[in-house]
Structure 1
Amino acid sequence: MALDVGDRRVGVAVSDELGLTAQPVLTLVRTNRKQDMKSLGRLLRRFGCTEVVVGNPLYMSGDISPQALKAQAFAAWVREEFGLPVHLWDERLTTTEAHRHLHAAGRPGSEHREVVDQVAAVLILDGFLAARRARQAEPQLRTGEP
């Protein structure tokens, strides 16, 4: 499961069992930590998730932004609450890219708020899964084994 964590909303995406594709699930409206974790727990159980990827919105320079600190705190809460592996994933420009995808799909700007967090979560998960597949393929490339 991937999360695009914002102050008011959390975009949620999940992958298939093979970790090949990412699909949007929903956007959680945040209320408080307890309720946020309760809602997230229901989704983790529903989709049988065994690890979580949280978008880490760093500055373009790579420095930690105030929003990245909030996302990192959220990631720590998820790790503490559910005991699952939680990965921080550099998500610079995913929201901008999500808006571009929605615009290209013919969605008016007024509709973007409804789904932009979900699309950003999909982009976060796609990037994470692609990097994981590339790391797994590296030993085969070096040895020439199939």
Structure 2
Amino acid sequence: MIADSAAAFRDALPGGGRLAGLDVGSKTIGVALCDGEWTFASAAETVKRTKFSKDLEALKAIFTKQEIAGLVIGLPLNLDGSDSPQTQSVRAFARNMDQTGLPILLWDERWSTQAVERAMIDADMTRKKRAERVDAAAAAFILQGAIDALVGL
């Protein structure tokens, strides 16, 4: 099940449970996790992309180990809210992830990477460390926005 609204996603998870947030890029997938009560999200790891079957294996291993109940996937919309080629790619990725059987929420991720990079620069993090951590941190930013909305319903 792929939901475009937080309410539909929440209805698919009546008992709550741990969520994973994904920031899907062309070279990497940032992964974040939250607790079962949906209070805070934290960056977990970055999966280097190869082919989808291997990416899926790596992600499923994380989901199983962390007992994930649902997925929040960042949707990179244009500033005007319209779809871009990257948006279509992420929608296709979400359709492929539907085979995990986990409920999926597509969450607007506009400005997530820029916000995270700005915070890392403000924290005086080196360019190399920012490059290593930005995808997982962006996934945490996306996931935190989603869980804040879910808790507010």
Q: What is the TM-score normalised by the length of structure 2?
A: 0.85
* Residue type of the alignment partner of 2:55: D
Q: Name the structure, 1 or 2, with higher relative contact order (CA <8 Å, separation 6+).
A: 2
Q: Which has the higher strand share?
A: 2
1:18 aligned counterpart, secondary structure: coil
Match of 2:80 among 61, 82, 95: 61
**Is 1:20 paired with 2:39?**
yes
Q: Going by fraction, where is helix more abundant, 1 or 2?
A: 1
Q: Which consecutive unaligned segments of at least 5 residues does structure 2 have?
A: 1-19
Q: Among residues 102, 111, 120, which one is paired with 1:84 in the alignment?
A: 102
* Residue 116 of structure 2 is aligned to residue 98 of structure 1: yes
How far apart are the structure 2 equivalents of 1:75 and 1:85? 10
Find the residue that maps to 2:32 and give its secondary structure: strand
The runs of at least 4 aligned residues of structure 1 exceeding 4 Å deviation read: none
CA shift at 1:108, angstroms?
Answer: 1.6
Equivalence for 2:48: 29
Aligned-partner SS, 2:68: coil
| Bigger mean CA deviation after superposition, 26-35 or 103-112 | 103-112
Q: Aligned residues: percent identity? A: 34
Post-superposition offset of 1:110: 2.8
Structure 1 portions without partners, runs of 5+: 136-146
Deviates more, 1:39-48 or 1:70-79: 70-79
Larger Rg: 1
- The answer to whether the aligner puts 1:110 opposite 2:128 as a matched pair is yes
CA distance in 2 between counterparts of 1:93 and 1:64 reads 15
Say yes or no: does 1:123 pair with 2:153.
no
Shift of 1:76: 1.0
2:57 alignment partner AA? K
CA distance in 2, matches of 1:52, 1:104: 30
Task: Tell me the secondary structure at the aligned position of residue 126 of structure 1.
Answer: helix
Distance 1:10 1:102 in 2: 19
- CA RMSD, 1 decimal: 0.8
Q: Does 1:74 align with 2:85?
A: no
TM (norm. structure 1) is 0.89
- Secondary structure class of the residue paired with 2:128: helix
CA distance in structure 2 between the aligned counterparts of 1:44 and 1:79, rounded to whole angstroms: 13
